[in-house]
């Protein structure tokens, strides 16, 4: 059925996809829209409605409840707009048969995210990242794969060729020459993914930091040959302000939202919940009886045999299921083991958002006794951080007393479940090391139409590229803060500093 399918969106206003076949439109950027609509209706894509874009950040920014689904639509929409802008300038720039695959890759780039998005990748040492799960969904026994195979059959593309081309766009293999530009549009330092998540996350977080001049940036996009390969460029003939605001917005969003200390604290707590679950399994040789079957199916192969979970079990996981499991695990039973009590306590902390993990503060060794003003929480010395990391790894199984409500006796829990060394390294603009071809850099066109690196054309871009930010904090469970600080002060020897007593 012909026509237009409209999605109302608070960031892009209207997102429109053409329902008809590619032969029914003269706009090549609309090719593949019908494929996108088929993919949107699959179970795997609809599952993204039940996964928060920013994980536990909604515990800090109350309105940040938006989903991976809305972001996927936004990325597909911006990819279509970028393609339209480039093809209007150079109609033969991209093979027409490649356009639907580039747009499909844009829509599906995050389809493999687990509950609470990125933090889910940290819960198990052997966890696959979301890119790996996305590829398994695209090539496995799924509705997404079925839609893609039907499209391949209609267009005369072999299944293996379809996977090869999609894999090139999504970064699972080196893309063909005519798909390298598509790869940049979806994943680079100047891509539809970042453009959408900065604006979307800023909107729903209620902050102004992530906003930039999207319309002018899109109008400024060009494609030029760099080292004989088509490369996405920005025309800065009228000034680099749009590009600079985009890169600055990314820097501000990481500083103020993504790496917010309390967001990081709740991410640490969520990983500790699964750490306590593994401790329970190691002591009881089973998972709690109230664990949902989907989580059993996902975790047991990993815990019993160190195997990768089956795709069908992964696809049953979403935020709602994990929230339900955390609710079940938060109940304390009489005569519960220490592992079960620790699991329940951490689940209650996460569910009720209290108390929040605290940051260990540090004092110089020569500080006056009885100093009450709080010391800094950030560690900057590389040797100190390395010593602390090695100490925590070596002593992770040391049992530390954890205070419970007055009705319960204290328990002993492993130090590794009570502390989290949080390390963040960010650079607003990065030129990949050893990238002599400059493919990973952003290229611009100056007023004379000459292609050059963005850092050579803009002092601000160059400055941002030199601002590598290191942030290292030690988080501690508030119910064990005194015990942990006492243990660190007794056993940990660091040059020049010591943990401050709470």
The tens digit of pLDDT for each residue in 407-424 reads 568 899 999 999 999 999
What is the enclosing helix (H) or strand (E) of 422? strand 419-426
The token pair at 97 is 């048969």
The tens digit of pLDDT for each residue in 19-49 reads 987 766 778 899 999 999 999 999 999 999 9
- 123 Cα distance to chain centroid: 14
Q: How many CB atoms lie within 10 A of CB 396?
A: 14
> By the 8 A CB rule, do 76 and 118 touch?
no
**Quick one: pLDDT band at residue 372, thresholds 50, 70, 90?**
low
Q: Which residues contact 95 (CB under 8 A, 6 or more apart)?
A: 178
Alpha-carbon span 114 to 124, nearest angstrom: 12
> For residue 296, which of 319, 316, 275 has the smallest C-alpha distance?
316
User: Facing residues of 368 across strands?
Assistant: none
Q: Which residues contact 484 (CB under 8 A, 6 or more apart)?
A: 360, 400, 415, 418, 419, 476, 477
* pLDDT of 334: 64
The tens digit of pLDDT for each residue in 80-118 reads 999 999 999 999 999 888 999 999 999 999 999 999 999
> By the 8 A CB rule, do 223 and 89 touch?
yes
User: Facing residues of 444 across strands?
Assistant: 234, 452
The token pair at 197 is 């998540």
Lowest mean pLDDT among 6-15, 240-249, 400-409, 465-474: 400-409
What share of residues in the chain are helix, strand, coil (percent, to 5)? Answer: 50, 15, 35
Query: How large is the average pLDDT for residues 53-66?
Result: 96
Q: How many CB atoms lie within 10 A of CB 235?
A: 18
CA distances (Å), origin 471, targets 207, 262, 362, 428, 440: 22, 14, 14, 14, 25
Q: How many CB atoms lie within 10 A of CB 13?
A: 8
The fraction of the chain above a pLDDT of 70, given in percent, is: 94
Alpha-carbon span 155 to 32, nearest angstrom: 11
Domain residue ranges in the chain? 4-206, 260-356, 357-428+467-502
CA distances (Å), origin 350, targets 50, 316, 477, 478: 18, 22, 12, 13
- For residue 289, the 8-state DSSP code is T
Task: Sort strands 229-235 and 443-445 into parallel, antiparallel or unpaired.
Answer: parallel
What is the enclosing helix (H) or strand (E) of 20? none
The token pair at 208 is 């102004």
Q: Tell me: pLDDT of 468 over 70.
A: yes
- For residue 328, the 8-state DSSP code is H
> By the 8 A CB rule, do 461 and 244 touch?
yes
* pLDDT of 431: 66
**Phi, psi for residue 414 in degrees, rounded to 5:** -65, 140
Classify 275 as helix, strand or coil: helix
Alpha-carbon span 116 to 167, nearest angstrom: 25
The tens digit of pLDDT for each residue in 448-462 reads 999 999 999 999 999
Structure-token match 């917005």, residue found: 249
**Quick one: pLDDT band at residue 441, thresholds 50, 70, 90?**
confident
* pLDDT of 434: 43
**Quick one: pLDDT band at residue 438, thresholds 50, 70, 90?**
very low
Lowest mean pLDDT among 32-46, 60-74, 146-160, 293-307: 293-307
DSSP assignment of 147-210 equals HHHHHHHHHT--HHHHHHHHHHHHTSSPPPGGGHHHHHHHSSSS-HHHHHHHHHHHHHHT-STT
* pLDDT of 367: 67
* pLDDT of 467: 85
Alpha-carbon span 199 to 81, nearest angstrom: 16
Helices 293-305 and 319-329: crossing angle in degrees, nearest 10, is 80
Q: Tell me: pLDDT of 1 over 70.
A: no
What is the enclosing helix (H) or strand (E) of 410? none
Lowest mean pLDDT among 242-246, 306-310, 351-355: 306-310
Query: How large is the average pLDDT for residues 303-317?
Result: 90
Q: Does the domain spanning 4-206 belong to CATH 1.10.3210.10?
A: yes
- For residue 469, the 8-state DSSP code is E
What is the enclosing helix (H) or strand (E) of 445? strand 443-445
> By the 8 A CB rule, do 225 and 181 touch?
no
The token pair at 169 is 């766009």
Alpha-carbon span 111 to 356, nearest angstrom: 31
Q: Tell me: pLDDT of 286 over 60.
A: yes
């Amino acid at each position: 059925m012909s026509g237009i399918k409209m999605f109302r969106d608070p960031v892009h206003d209207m997102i429109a996809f053409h329902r008809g076949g590619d032969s029914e439109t003269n706009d090549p950027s609309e090719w593949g829209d019908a494929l996108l609509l088929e993919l949107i209706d699959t179970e795997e894509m609809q599952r993204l409605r039940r996964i928060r874009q920013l994980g536990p950040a909604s515990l800090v920014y109350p309105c940040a409840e938006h989903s991976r689904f809305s972001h996927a639509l936004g990325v597909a929409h911006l990819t279509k707009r970028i393609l339209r802008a480039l093809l209007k300038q150079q109609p033969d720039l991209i093979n027409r048969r490649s356009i639907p695959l580039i747009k499909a890759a844009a829509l599906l780039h995050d389809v493999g995210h687990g509950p609470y998005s990125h933090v889910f990748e940290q819960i198990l040492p052997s966890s696959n990242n979301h890119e790996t799960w996305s590829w398994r969904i695209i090539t496995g026994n799924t509705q997404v794969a079925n839609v893609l195979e039907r499209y391949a059959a209609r267009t005369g593309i072999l299944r293996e060729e379809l996977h090869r081309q999609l894999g090139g766009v999504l970064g699972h293999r080196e893309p063909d020459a005519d798909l390298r530009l598509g790869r940049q549009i979806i994943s680079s330092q100047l891509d539809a993914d970042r453009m959408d998540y900065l604006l979307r996350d800023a909107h729903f977080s209620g902050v102004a930091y992530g906003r930039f001049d999207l319309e002018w940036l899109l109008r400024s996009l060009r494609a030029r040959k760099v080292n004989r390969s088509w490369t996405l460029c920005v025309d800065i003939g009228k000034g680099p302000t749009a590009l600079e605001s985009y890169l600055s917005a990314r820097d501000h969003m990481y500083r103020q939202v993504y790496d917010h200390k309390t967001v990081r604290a709740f991410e640490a707590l969520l990983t500790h919940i699964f750490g306590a679950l593994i401790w329970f399994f190691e002591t009881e040789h089973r998972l709690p009886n109230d664990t949902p079957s989907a989580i059993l199916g996902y975790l047991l192969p990993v815990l019993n045999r160190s195997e990768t979970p089956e795709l069908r079990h992964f696809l049953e996981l979403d935020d709602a299921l994990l929230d339900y499991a955390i609710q079940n695990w938060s109940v304390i039973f009489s005569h519960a083991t220490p592992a079960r009590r620790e699991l329940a306590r951490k689940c209650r902390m996460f569910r009720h958002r209290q108390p929040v993990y605290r940051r260990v503060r540090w004092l110089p060794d020569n500080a006056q006794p009885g100093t009450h003003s709080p010391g800094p929480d950030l560690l900057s010395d590389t040797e100190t951080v390395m010593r602390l990391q090695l100490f925590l790894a070596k002593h992770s199984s040391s049992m530390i007393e954890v205070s419970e409500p007055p009705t319960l006796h204290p328990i002993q829990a492993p130090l590794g479940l009570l502390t989290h060394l949080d390390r963040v390294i960010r650079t607003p603009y990065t030129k990949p090391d050893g990238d002599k071809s400059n493919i990973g850099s952003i290229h611009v066109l100056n007023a004379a139409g000459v292609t050059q690196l963005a850092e050579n054309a803009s002092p601000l871009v160059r400055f941002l590229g030199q601002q590598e930010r290191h942030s290292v904090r030690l988080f501690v469970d508030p119910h064990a803060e005194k015990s942990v600080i006492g243990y660190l002060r007794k056993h940990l020897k660091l040059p020049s500093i010591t943990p401050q007593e709470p």
